[in-house]
Structure 1
Amino acid sequence: MATSSFSRGCFVFKPSAKKKKKKKTTVDLESYFTDGCEGAESSETRFKLCLDLWNKIKTETEDLQDELNRNILDSLLQFTRKCSSTRRHGNWASQMRASEIPTAALVLGVNVPDHDITFQSLSELLRCSVTPHVASLQAKECGALKHLMKRVLERLMDAVVDDEEEEEEEKEEVQHSGAPLHKSVHCSLRALCDWYSSKTKKSSCSSSGKKRSSSAVDEHQQPPVVIIFKDLEAFNPKVLQDFILICSRYLDRLPLMFIFGIATSPSTVQRMLPHSVSSLLCIELFQSLSCTQHLTTVIDKLILTHSFPFKLNGKVMQVLVSIFLYHDFSVRNFIKGLQLALLEHFHSQPLSSLCCRKKEAQIQLQQLSAGDLDRIRQLPSFNRFLKEQEQQEQDNLQTDDTYLKEVCQKLLKGLHKYHKNYYPVLRCLHTLTSSLPRYPLGKQIRELHLICLEKNVWESEEYQSAMKLLKMLAKDELISLLQKCAEVLQPVKSKKMKNAFVQLEELLDKFKQLNAAAELAPSVEEKLTCPVKNLQKKTDLFQLQKTLLEMNESRRAKRMSPFEVLRNEAVEFVDGLVKNHLSPPESKPLYEVCYYSSSATVRRHLNATPRTSIQAALSSPYCYIQNDSLKSEDGSVSNAAPDICIAHKLHLECGRLINLYDWLEAYSTVVSAAEGNDPDPDGSGKMDEVKHARFIRAVSELEFLGFIKATKKKTDHVARLTWGGC
């Protein structure tokens, strides 16, 4: 019989094992710049500059990450190749037992957010140069052994994997619907072994027709199967133990290798695995670069350079460094904070169109509008510069726009020259003081940079202490430090730095010409020895007193040795460089163009307080939902507010213990008043089941957020965990 329906059967299809790629939600930065920002006439230019610097930060950090991880990744690749070669050539039993699984314990540190980038690079390198069979696992998706096995098979075989229970349910559904069976892979290592053997046979057959050496054939025929455990500490020890025991039984058929990602200490492996299991692993330890060294390199490449025009002031820099040191040790999050400051600077500062290279800044300066020139006149740094000028000069700068552009052109050149000289001198001062006892100016260059951003460093007690210690250095140590300073100054293309390099070279030549044996002048020696010879002669009391006074005066008048004179000259030379080039950037006119200074904005976005935000949302839902019916006064909550807001408001009016029935009655009264209904129209004392369910859900949400908890004192009560009233 004919039918109008499309189908008379029900077909069941299992979802693919591949993860669905999430659509990238990119923020429309251009609309962010054009909508609601000050100085909209230059928003397009600022957007382009911001995007260029954003991309530069991204590429620089990616290249830096690859460069820093190169040694550890090369070591891991060499380890996997060595283990694979040992297994292929039959030397496996001589170097390790046949039941041992080669395992690389990769200690990455506690900067967990940065681990994904490292493992991503490692997986790509392994797939390109060692083996196509690589599976990366996370603990959150491997709660049980069957889940762990399923994830391994799915990522290695690229197929749908079913366990027994799911397979039986699927068969029943398919038989009931009359649909054809959907092929899937059984969740076991035996299926993985069969798949691997079929893969290697195919590769050997395809390579048999090609002319190449037998070693190359073997290399492609039996690649290892690498399983990466990204966060070893988070895995269930029992699940991990069972998986290792199962894998050891199939090691003769499957060339397995493990890579453990460890955040804390290598002893984690012994703590999680008993000896009977850990003895099945042949573990080799690999130590990655510390996150603090990584941060130092990032700061050195992105912040302590004149080629990157965007700068951070001392407070913003301190916020980002503090979040790194006291919260997550994540260089990735530090870079995100830098990008946030970059975005906020170009959005909130209309004059940020001048935050670019010197030639581009000169062009942008000539295109400034009258409004932008008025903004320049209102800058605090420009006002300080204006007060230092004569009255006629002040009038010209206030009234003549063309003359203002000419002066600003000189000021921008001076700002770029300041940055070009600031960073080499900063590195020289750090080189000289980073090895001094107790590190008076800090051990890391970022600490010295923060001091220089906040005040005149030469006025601090720490600087004076450092200069005194420099005047006590030995000759070899001082010459070595000065040579390092010369290496810093030599490549800088600046007239002042070239002159400083020439003076430093002259000082080093003088040090080389000194004779270490002639530290005392002959005249000084004669003054010291002649009175002593006179004491051996027969003399009276008056003559003895006169001789002793001469000896005392000669000691006081002792001249410094040539090395001490030259050492003081070198320290004075460094002191002059510091005073000339390490003044704070806030002392320079137009510094606001390049420096972002809103530390409160960065702290609010990066170091959020969720508890305060949740309480504000529950107390004032109108600020978040933007519904006119939720407007209220005197801190009260509208009866049309969400259920959790009403329950939160009522719980603030209770004491330490809250009676759930009284709380429910009060909630029902408020909700019924909002709906315009009588809370108990029949007078039977029964409550609407829907309201009851809504109340239970609101209470459960408050318990989940930590506002209340269950108590054993009274069965129908809950304990309040917050202070104060409404």
Structure 2
Amino acid sequence: MNDESYTAASSAHSYKVIKPNRRKSKTTNKIDCDLSYDDSYHHYISKLNKTYSNIEKEVFDQLLGELKEFVIRHKSVYDIAKSSSFRYTPCAVVSMSANINNLSSFSDLLIDQIEEITSLQLVVTSDDVRSIPDFVKLVQDCILDYLGIDRVEFPYSFYSVTAKFFNEKIHPKLPMVVIFKDFDCISQTLLSDLFMLMHENLEKMPVILICCQSSDIVALNMRLPSKATNNLKVENFSCRPTKDFFYLLLDDISFSTETSFKLGPKVLKHLINVYKLWDTSLSGAFRRVKLCVFEHFYNKKYAKLCCAPDEIDSTVSTLTDDELNSIRDLDSIQRRNFPKESKIAKSQLKKELRNFLDHLEDIYSELKFYHLLKESLFYWKKLTFIEDTWIPFLDSEKLSDGNDFHAICDRFCGLDSEAIISLMDNLSRHIDSVESTVFASLKKHYKDFETKTQDDQQDNHENEINPNGFRSRLRSQNGIVSSPYDKKISRTQLRSYIASQQKPKVVRKFQKWKDEFLDLLREEIDKISNPLHLPYNEIFFFNDIGQFEQLSMPTTRHDTLFALENPEKVFICKCCQSLNRLSPDISIIYSIYCDLYRVANLKKCYDTFKEFVSQHETRVSPRKRAKKDATKCDEKGLLARFISAIGDLEYLGLIRAHPRKVDHIERLVWPLNDHTRKDHDSDEQISKVLKDIKL
């Protein structure tokens, strides 16, 4: 396969990135709400925006500190102004990973950190720079903007002239920082020319490069030729993973004391699954959380009570008759005698809502102890409170019926006395700040532990007949006490074993204490009532997964077909308004695929692909056309590109190999929504045709 032709065909495409002029506009994640009648919604959205901004700063805090130190270190090298200072161009390659969608906020935060120690800060994207003159013009605009003078015409759009102007008008020891937002989307040839041009004029205009890319799978020296990377001093940086911050965002939503809005178990599990399997960015998770808030408050009069805990009394006092009727219609209070008189109803409502929120606080303290107990017993596992404790609790009738509690019992029964003493000391050390009635009861039972579990002198017959080893334990459990090499068991041995099993066993004090401890733990945690089974839970908990799941989950088939049919809308590429020879190969194959019948000949598809890719551009002059003909792709390169694109369609499930004809394929997907218009056949006629198709 011809790699150069494939790169040239796909290098012009990139994803959408916000323009770098941060002084004109700034991107924001804040939501504009139209629910003017609901102050609780406005209050919670403002609080949520503040939470997200704080978490976003924490995500990039460590990386920003490392990059600031990188800039300061190389600025001090430029301050020396020796010939050795300009031998290499400092370059920081930053792997953003899942945070690639947060590049706008990251560049703004980075500029705020290094603005005082550098002269200019230039943010470059693949949409702005398609050639060297485009980059030179951006540098010139940045210099003139820094000097505060009007636009003047430079003699030539040369980088050397611009560097000389920089040396004369700006302090030459203050370097210019160039931030490439989508470094991996810029043409490799353009990057090579830019890096060599910057190094040639490094003494006139010192530069520090910060290149942001989506992943670090391909190293820089593998992407660019050696002539471009030999003069670079590369240091690699990476952003912190967003998993911990994602759970921190969910914890703040679910357990914040400033607001009373909570997420139900179905919604929480859906948010976690979407984060793990589809979108691992914080911005995407934040948008879905805001969608939950909107769905909870929109067109629900009783949601007005989902406000700050200290504002419940004043909010209840302002309820109208319609809002009281909406509360009476809640499913959780259908069997309760809710007063019809408004004054009595409001006074009762204030009391019960306060009790509900106080009960939530008690639940949090008890579950925090329960989670700490699990972490202490299973210390080798990385457990999260919201996923491993909070969601199972909301999903269960009783917490003791879950698999987690049975695992705790099995693990606790295998502990010796020293391990139990260490466990209780660890719990006492970490639980002092939390008031837990469960721990208070267990601590009372633990009092005088050593005297209560002191065993009598007796032989441990069980340990003698159960030596170590899986096969030995298995044989002893089945009543086989003879040697594992004995093929037969005598009747006397079998009769003696059955008689020993019928004798009453002596219960040791230590085992009895363990059983009492676990029984007490089961009894105490069963007293924790599930808030979703309490009255008025619909006011505070959003657990309606139906509409939210439809709006938040991707329509995979529709999005895939739309991306294949309209690559210019996905890449946001202005030069590709229609399908042409420079479009991605898979999009060209898909356009051919849409005209196929159920069975198609691969040879005909390849001929169509070859004719489409090899066609000349109408605006190219004959001289340039002759040069392109000399360097056009050979037959093997076109065949390799065709096979690769066909393999991608097969991987997406659009085609499959014909069961009998080797050189034919079968089409599996039809865009049915295109046939619902009046000038096409009806759905019934289409369904009759599709019945003959064996998928």
Letter aligned with residue 200 of structure 1 = I
Q: What do the CA deviations read for 1:63-88 (whole angstroms, capped 9, x no partner)?
A: 22223322221111111111111332
Q: Counterpart of 1:56 in structure 2: which amino acid? A: K
**CA shift for structure 1 position 267:** 3.3
Distance 1:235 1:316 in 2: 39
Verify the 8 A CA contact 2:88 2:232 in the aligned structure 1: yes
Structure 1 residue 597 corresponds to structure 2 residue 550: no
Q: Structure 1 residue 131: deviation in Å? A: 1.4
Residue 350 (structure 1) shift:
0.5
Greater gyration radius: 1
Higher percent of residues as helix: 1
Gaps of 5+ in 1: 1-15, 35-42, 161-180, 202-220, 387-393, 530-546, 616-651, 658-718
Match of 1:587 among 529, 533, 549: 533
What is the aligned partner in structure 2 of residue 104 from structure 1? 92
Aligned to 2:553: 607
User: Please, what is the CA RMSD of the aligned residues?
Assistant: 4.5
- Cα drift, residue 483 of structure 1: 5.9
Alignment identity in percent?
17
**Which residue of the partner structure matches residue 159 of structure 2?**
189
Letter in 2 for 1:468: D
Q: Find the counterpart in structure 1 of residue 363 from structure 2.
A: 422
Q: How far is the alpha carbon of 1:578 from its aligned partner?
A: 3.5
Q: Find out whether 1:450 has 2:399 as its counterpart.
A: no
Shift in CA distance, 519/720, structure 1 to aligned 2, threshold 3 Å: closer
Aligned to 1:141: 128
- Please say if residues 440 and 466 of structure 1, whose CA atoms lie closer than 8 Å, have aligned partners that are also in contact: no
Task: Give the whole-Å Cα distance in 1 for the aligned partners of 2:347 and 2:52.
Answer: 37
* Deviation for aligned residue 1:480: 6.3
Instruction: Give the 3 Å change call, closer, same or farther, for CA 572–298 of structure 1 in structure 2.
Output: farther
Residue 104 of structure 2 aligns with which residue? 116
The amino acid that maps onto 2:128 is E
Secondary structure of residue in 2 paired with 1:580: coil
Correspondence 1:349-364 to 2 at 5 A: 349-364=300-315
Task: State yes or no: 1:62 paired with 2:11.
Answer: no
* Alpha-carbon distance between aligned partners in 2 of 1:27 and 1:550, rounded to the nearest angstrom: 75
Q: 1:72 to 1:474 in 2, by over 3 A?
A: farther
Paired letter, 1:580: K
- 2:173 corresponds in structure 1 to 222
Q: For residue 202 of structure 2, give the secondary structure of its aligned residue in structure 1.
A: coil
Report the Cα distance in structure 2 between the residues aligned to 1:460 and 1:309, rounded to whole angstroms.
27
Contact map agreement 2:27 2:105 (CA 8 A) in 1 = no
- Which amino acid is 1:70 matched to? D
Match of 1:322 in 2: 273
Structure 2 unaligned residues grouped into runs of 5+ = 1-18, 464-495, 562-593, 600-667, 676-680, 683-695
Give TM-score, length-normalised by structure 1.
0.62
Report the Cα distance in structure 2 between the residues aligned to 1:26 and 1:254, rounded to whole angstroms: 36
Deviations 1:160-214 (A, max 9, x none): 9xxxxxxxxxxxxxxxxxxxx963574332233223223435xxxxxxxxxxxxx
The 1:243/1:585 distance shift into structure 2, 3 A limit, reads same
Query: In the alignment, what sits opposite 2:184?
Result: 233
Change (3 A) 1:576 1:271: farther
Deviations 1:97-148 (A, max 9, x none): 74321122222213421232222211221114x2141111222322333333
Deviation, structure 1 residue 292:
1.1
Q: Cα deviation per residue 1:407-427 (whole Å; 9 max; x = unaligned)?
A: 322321221022212333333
C-alpha spacing 1:315/1:439, structure 2 compared with 1 (3 Å): farther
- Determine if contact 1:490/1:501 at 8 Å carries over to the other structure: no
Tell me if structure 1 keeps the 8 A contact 2:305–2:539: yes
Asked if the contact 2:181/2:211 (under 8 Å) is kept, the reply is yes
8 Å Cα contact 2:59/2:242 also seen in 1: no
The SS at the match of 2:240 is coil
Question: Structure 1 residues 120 and 507 mapped into 2: Cα distance closer, same or farther (>3 Å)?
Answer: farther
Distance 2:279 2:71 in 1: 31
What do the CA deviations read for 1:217-254 (whole angstroms, capped 9, x no partner)?
Answer: xxxx7222111112222221221111111112122332
Q: Distance in 2 between matches of 1:56 and 1:222?
A: 44
- Residue 405 of structure 1 corresponds to 346
Q: Distance in 2 between matches of 1:291 and 1:527?
A: 54
Q: Which residue number in structure 2 is paired with residue 431 of structure 1?
A: 372
Match of 2:458 in 1: 524
The aligned counterpart of 1:51 is 42
Distance 2:87 2:309 in 1: 65
Matched with 2:240 is 289
- Matching of residues 61-80 of structure 1 within 5 Å: 61-80=52-71
CA distance in 1, matches of 2:391, 2:287: 20
Q: How do 1:387-402 and structure 2 match up within 5 A?
A: 394=337, 397-402=338-343
Residue of structure 2 aligned with 1:377, choices 325, 328, 333: 328
- Aligned pair in 2 of structure 1 residues 159, 70: CA closer, same or farther (>3 Å)? closer
Deviation at 1:62, TM superposition (A): 1.0
Q: Which amino acid aligns with 1:127?
A: E
1:88 maps to: 79
Partner Cα distance (2:212, 2:60) in 1:
14
Distance 1:27 1:78 in 2: 31
Does the Cα contact within 8 Å between 2:455 and 2:509 map onto a contact in 1?
Answer: no
Moved more, 16-25 or 140-149: 16-25
Q: 1:404 to 1:292 in 2, by over 3 A?
A: same
SS of the residue 2:205 aligns to: coil
Alpha-carbon distance in structure 1 between the residues aligned to 2:414 and 2:229: 55
Deviation at residue 588 of structure 1 after TM alignment: 1.3
TM-score when scaled to structure 2? 0.64
Residue aligned with 1:103, SS: strand
Please say which of residues 182-191 and 568-577 is displaced more in the overlay. 568-577
Aligned equivalent of 2:35: 33
State the SS of the aligned residue for 1:282. strand
Tell me which of the two structures has the higher relative contact order, counting C-alpha pairs closer than 8 angstroms and 6 or more residues apart: 2
Q: Secondary structure at the match of 2:170?
A: helix
Residue aligning to 2:297: 346
Equivalences for 1:658-669 in 2 at 5 Å? none
CA change 1:26–1:275 in 2 (3 A) is closer
Q: 1:503 to 1:436 in 2, by over 3 A?
A: closer
Cα deviation for residue 552 of structure 1 reads 9.3
Out of 392, 403, 406, the position equivalent to 1:461 is 403
> Which amino acid in structure 1 is aligned with residue 111 of structure 2?
S
Against the structure 1 CA distance between its residues 721 and 79, is the aligned structure 2 distance closer, same or farther, given a 3 Å change threshold?
same
One-letter amino acid of the structure 2 residue matched with residue 366 of structure 1: S
User: What do residues 558-605 of structure 1 show as CA deviations (whole Å, max 9, x unaligned)?
Assistant: 5143xx666666655654553333x44320110111122333332343
Cα gap change, 1:528 to 1:566, in 2 (>3 Å): closer
Q: How many residues align?
A: 523
Q: Deviations over 1:653-697 (max 9, x none)?
A: x9889xxxxxxxxxxxxxxxxxxxxxxxxxxxxxxxxxxxxxxxx
CA distance in 2, matches of 1:460, 1:411: 30
CA contact (8 A) 2:120 2:146 kept: no
SS at the partner of 1:593?
Answer: helix
1:133 aligned partner, one-letter code: L
C-alpha distance after superposition, 1:518-541 (max 9, x if no partner): 986353369999xxxxxxxxxxxx
Partner of 1:33, secondary structure, is coil
- 1:559 is the counterpart of 2:547: no
Letter of the 1:523 counterpart: Q
| Residue 472, structure 1, aligned to residue 411, structure 2 | no
Judged with a 3 Å threshold, the aligned counterparts in structure 2 of structure 1 residues 91 and 25 are, in CA distance, closer, same or farther, namely closer
CA distance in 1, matches of 2:275, 2:66: 28
